[in-house]
Amino acid sequence: MTLLRFAIRDMSADWRRSLTHIAAIVPIVAAYLILNAVAGGLRDEAVAVEAQNIVLLSPNALDPAAGRLAPEVLDLVWEVGGSDVASATPMIFRPIRMDDRVVQLRAAPRSTWDSIHDLTLLSGSWPDNRDEIVITEGIAIATDWNVGTQAEIFGTTFTVSALVRAPGTKFASVWMDFERADTLFEGQSGFQIVTVEPAEGADHFDLLSRLDLASGGVFSVYFESDLAEQQSARKGAAENLAFVATVVGVAALAFGGFNLAAIALTERHRDLGIARSVGFSRGSIGAVALLRAAVLAAIGFVIGSLSALLALSATSATTVRSFVFQADIQPRAWILGAAITIGVSAIGTLVAFRTTTRRPVRSLLETG
C-alpha cells in the first residue's frame, strides 16, 4: 500500500510527465475501440436470403446508390420478358440526410412494398398520405425514431407512419412511395434498381439469361438473393478491412504502450539509482514502476474509452456508403483493450527496468 501511495504521489508530483503519458495512450485506445466497434457493426448486420426476384442495377457500380438506370430499361424488361414477367418496378435507392443523419432511402411503388419487397408491418399503419414514410427495424435501432416521429427530407417534413421488418440488405432503410420521391427529388434521381417479379410458372434462370443477353452492358442482372450475397461479401470485405485496422490499432496500442512505459523509466535512470542508494530493492523499485505504469495505462484506457463512447454516441448510426449499421463496442473489445493497454505497459516497464537498473547508482556518480 505504501508503494502504491508512493507511486501515486510520484505521478501527481510529476504531473506533466504523467499527463503526457496518459495523453499519448488516450487516442490509441479510442482509435482501437472505434475501429473494433465499426468492425463489429459490419459483422453483425443481418443478411438474409431474399425471394427469387431478379434485380437490374447499373453495371460496375460499387454501390447501388451510385448507379442510374434509363426509363427505357423498364420497356426493355417487358419486351424481353414478355409473359414471363409478372411485374417490373423501379426503385429509387440513395443515401439521404434526415435530421443530420445519413440513412438509406428506398422508394418503390407503395403497392409493391409487401408483395414484392417483403416488408412486414410491425407497428403503426401503412402510409395513407404523401408525406408519410415507414422505417425498418435497423433504422429504429440506429436512431431513436419510431411511429409518429417527424423528420425532414429535402426540406419537406415527413411523418413515420409505421415500423416494418425488411429482409436482407433492406434491413436498415427508410421507405417512401416512388412517385412521392420522384417529385421530391424533382426527377433528378432517376432510379437505381428495377425489381423484376417472374410470372408464376416462368423459368427464372431463362428469364435472367435473356435479360442479361439484352442488357448490352447498360445494366447488370442478378437474382435478388445473389445480390444479397454479393453485398454481404462486400460488407465482409469491409469487415476484413476494419479487422485489419483493428489489428493495426492493437499493434499501435501495444507498441505505443510499451514504448511509453520504457521511455518513462529510462528517462528516470537517475531516480532509480537514488532509490537503490537509499536501500530500495530492485523488487520494490520494480513494483513502484509497475504500479505507476499500470495506473497511468488504466487512466489512459478509461479516458480513451470515454472518448470512443462519446465519438460513437455523437453518431448513433454509422454509414459506410449506403449501408447503415450500429457501431457498438463489444465487451470483449473492452477486456482485450484493457488487458493490452495495461499488459504492454507492464511489459515495457519490465523490459526497460531490466536494462536501466543494472548499474543505476553509477549514473549518480557519473552524470550528476
User: Which residues contact other proteins (rule: CB under 8 A)?
Assistant: 1-2, 5-6, 9-10, 13-14, 270-271, 273-282, 284, 361, 364-365, 367-368
Cell of residue 148, nine digits: 409518429
Enclosing H/E stretch for 34: helix 15-44
Contacts of 329 (CB under 8 A, 6+ apart): 33, 36, 37, 40, 305, 308, 309, 312
Name the β-bridge partners of 162: 124, 134
Q: How far is the CB of 304 from other proteins (least distance, A)?
A: 25
| CB-nearer residue toward other proteins: 155 or 283 | 283
Q: How far is the CB of 351 from other proteins (least distance, A)?
A: 20
| CB-nearer residue toward other proteins: 1 or 314 | 1
Q: How far is the CB of 137 from other proteins (least distance, A)?
A: 56
| CB-nearer residue toward other proteins: 16 or 313 | 16
Q: How far is the CB of 271 from other proteins (least distance, A)?
A: 5
Q: How far is the CB of 330 from other proteins (least distance, A)?
A: 39
- CA gap 154, 172 in Å, rounded: 20
| CB-nearer residue toward other proteins: 71 or 279 | 279
Q: How far is the CB of 364 from other proteins (least distance, A)?
A: 5
Q: How far is the CB of 2 from other proteins (least distance, A)?
A: 5
Three-state DSSP state, 211: helix
- CA gap 151, 143 in Å, rounded: 12
- CA gap 230, 55 in Å, rounded: 13
Contacts of 86 (CB under 8 A, 6+ apart): 197, 198, 199, 200, 202
| CB-nearer residue toward other proteins: 9 or 97 | 9
What proportions of the chain, in percent to the nearest 5, are helix, strand and coil? 55, 20, 25
| CB-nearer residue toward other proteins: 17 or 101 | 17
Q: How far is the CB of 11 from other proteins (least distance, A)?
A: 9
Contact indicator for 254, 340 with CB cutoff of 8 Å = yes
| CB-nearer residue toward other proteins: 210 or 270 | 270
Contact indicator for 332, 55 with CB cutoff of 8 Å = no
| CB-nearer residue toward other proteins: 235 or 276 | 276
Using alpha carbons only, what angle is made at residue 163 by residues 158 and 168, rounded to the nearest 5 degrees? 110
| CB-nearer residue toward other proteins: 77 or 293 | 293
Q: How far is the CB of 344 from other proteins (least distance, A)?
A: 24
Q: How far is the CB of 299 from other proteins (least distance, A)?
A: 18
Contacts of 154 (CB under 8 A, 6+ apart): 96, 184, 185
DSSP string, 214-282: HHTTSSEEEEHHHHHHHHHHHHHHHHHHHHHHHHHHHHHHHHHHHHHHHHHHHTTHHHHHHHHHTT--H
| CB-nearer residue toward other proteins: 153 or 288 | 288
User: Where do we find the cell 509497475?
Assistant: 290
Closest C-alpha among 270, 281, 289 to residue 351: 289
